[in-house]
């Protein structure tokens, strides 16, 4: 899949930096600082408590990011984020992002809207790709359930599917990577993003590409989820793994 000038799902995970700034102007400035350092920029709208004007923020963000792909995310409280509004408010904000001509991707939580397929089609009609996501901050479901969630998300018409789970044991991390490998092997053309969160799951953020995960998230300052590594260290570790694999 190509997003602007970026190729994803090509065997090497791309690095996404989330913007977690609480002030609109600082978020835009932050984007300008990292645009040459990352493959994708994610704006965590739910964390920007000082947001004044969504439309202006999106326009300014697009300008600051230059040609770096932008992912807009409104993470709900139910899935570990800061958004506490209604489903209709959630829908309106996501659609405003999709119709702004400023972002390349929007994150849509798998269980946030009842008419998800129709909503994703409306997003696609705006020329924007969708990342359908599911986050479990309490546990790692068994492999059968995780695989089923990925299949169900893919069936919605999502362009990219994303699953993040919380491990309690090392075996949980292995289970997540195993499901990632199986799904990617059967659906090689469906971009897949997975991660095992928290300190125990850090390895999945580094080696996920080996198993089929095509995007990994590295922080610049405050992390947007538990277990994120500094993006500079993350990029270096991915580079080392990639070079070693070519020998």
Active site positions, annotated:
135, 162
Closest CA to 115 of 145, 146, 90, 78: 90
- Residue 3: phi and psi, rounded to 5, are -125, 110
Q: State which H helix or E strand residue 70 sits in.
A: strand 70-73
| Sheet architecture: strand order including 160-165 | 192-196, 160-165, 129-136, 105-109, 70-73, 40-44, 14-19, 215-219, 229-230
Distance CA 209, CA 192 (A): 10
């Amino acid at each position: 899949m190509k997003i602007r000038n970026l190729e994803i799902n090509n065997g090497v995970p791309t690095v996404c930096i989330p913007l977690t700034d609480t002030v609109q102007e600082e978020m835009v400035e932050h984007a300008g600082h990292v645009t040459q350092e990352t493959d994708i920029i994610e704006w965590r709208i739910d964390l920007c408590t000082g947001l004044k004007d969504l439309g202006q923020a999106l326009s300014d963000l697009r300008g600051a990011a230059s040609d770096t792909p932008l992912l807009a995310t409104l993470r709900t409280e139910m899935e570990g984020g800061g958004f506490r509004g209604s489903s209709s408010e959630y829908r309106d904000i996501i659609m405003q992002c999709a119709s702004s001509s400023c972002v390349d991707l929007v994150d849509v939580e798998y269980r946030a809207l009842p008419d998800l397929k129709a909503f994703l089609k409306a997003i696609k009609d705006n020329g924007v790709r969708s990342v359908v996501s599911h986050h479990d901050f309490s546990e790692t479901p068994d492999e059968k359930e995780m695989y089923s969630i990925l299949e169900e998300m893919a069936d919605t018409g999502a362009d990219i599917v994303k699953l993040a789970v919380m491990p309690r044991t090392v075996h949980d991390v292995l289970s997540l990577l195993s499901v990632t490998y199986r799904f990617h092997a059967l659906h090689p053309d469906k971009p897949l993003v997975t991660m095992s969160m928290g300190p125990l799951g850090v390895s999945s953020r580094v080696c996920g590409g080996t198993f089929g995960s095509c995007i990994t998230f590295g922080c610049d300052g405050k992390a947007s989820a538990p277990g994120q590594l500094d993006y500079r260290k993350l990029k270096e570790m991915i580079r080392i793994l990639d070079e070693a694999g070519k020998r």
